[in-house]
Amino acid sequence: MKALKFYKWDVEGGAPKNYPGIFYYVDFIYEGGSKSALAGAAGFQNGWGWGGRSKTERPSPLPHRVIAVWVSTTEKQAYLGDFELDTVKIKEIFDEGEININRYDRAKNHRFTFKVSTAPGGVLAVWLEGIMSQVEVGYYKGTKTDKVTWKDLAPQGADITLKEYCQDYFIKELPIEIQEQLATTGPPFGLWDSYRKKYTWHTADLLSQNLLGIEYYYYNGEKETTRLEEFDSNTPKQRAIPYQAWLRWKTPAEKTYDADIFFNEASIFEAFKKGYKEKEDTAAIFYEINTVNNKTDIKAYLQNKTEKIAIKTDSINVYRRPERK
């Protein structure tokens, strides 16, 4: 009998902001046992692809299934599912590992966290998060169930129905505009499906500065960190649309800056829609950076073969890094 290989991993739960989810339970099954995300009636709304609390676990074999029962509070609906994980992809990620940028010797990291999030419509997504990246390894649709009650989630709680609990403890606490949306059109079913669409693109070189590093957070819950000055290459590949970028660059005067850029959702989706006419099209996100009198202005564009399409931003924060002595 082949000996099982053990790996370091844990599990964290989550749900999109303004669309809270509650896990009754979520178990990652491996040969000989399971690991779970912390569950409970408080629920999650920490952001799509973002994790919550986790328990420190001993090394275990890699999981092959995820079994879950959860509540989509904005639907006032419980779901259940028993799903097979992509064991080949998961094993490749663990075995390959990734360079640990937090270590001086840049040794490889082989520890990862399974992030699991719910979304309206019975969506359950699973990612693997490391130090340099977060990659989707599962995307599923659960089945509605009426067998989960409020007492299942909180045996010592008030004597109310699950629908009453969702309304009184979650929906009433949401922003007014979200409450109005739920009352008129309901949750945005299919939104998280649309976030998974990918395009072939990369980040264009800066005109007069030296681009040192890039970090993107994508609408599909993935993330990617690139360190150009050390070991990465900036090449086109299939990526989702980003909602946030972090840049590091060095000016001709040897001054180093960082910037956090938050894209406007409607603008960047329209730019990608306009910039990709054919499936095989490619493009680049292009940044114009100008610093005058210690004030930095950044503009973002999507550049394809024929046009440069402006991308609006909601906010940009620029920081000058202290010089090394």
Supply the pTM of this predicted model: 0.93
* Ordered alpha helix ranges (H), 139-233: 150-153, 162-169, 176-184, 191-194
Contact in structure between 241 and 271 (CB atoms under 8 Å): no
Three-state secondary-structure class, residue 265:
helix
Q: Is the pLDDT of residue 197 over 60?
A: yes
Q: What is the DSSP-derived secondary structure letter of residue 172? A: G
More confident residue, 324 or 71: 71
Min mean pLDDT across 150-164, 200-214, 223-237 is at 223-237
Question: 230, 3, 223: which is closest to 113 by C-alpha?
Answer: 223
More confident residue, 277 or 71: 71
Q: Is the pLDDT of residue 245 over 90?
A: yes
Min mean pLDDT across 95-109, 125-139, 204-218 is at 95-109
Question: 259, 167, 162: which is closest to 206 by C-alpha?
Answer: 259
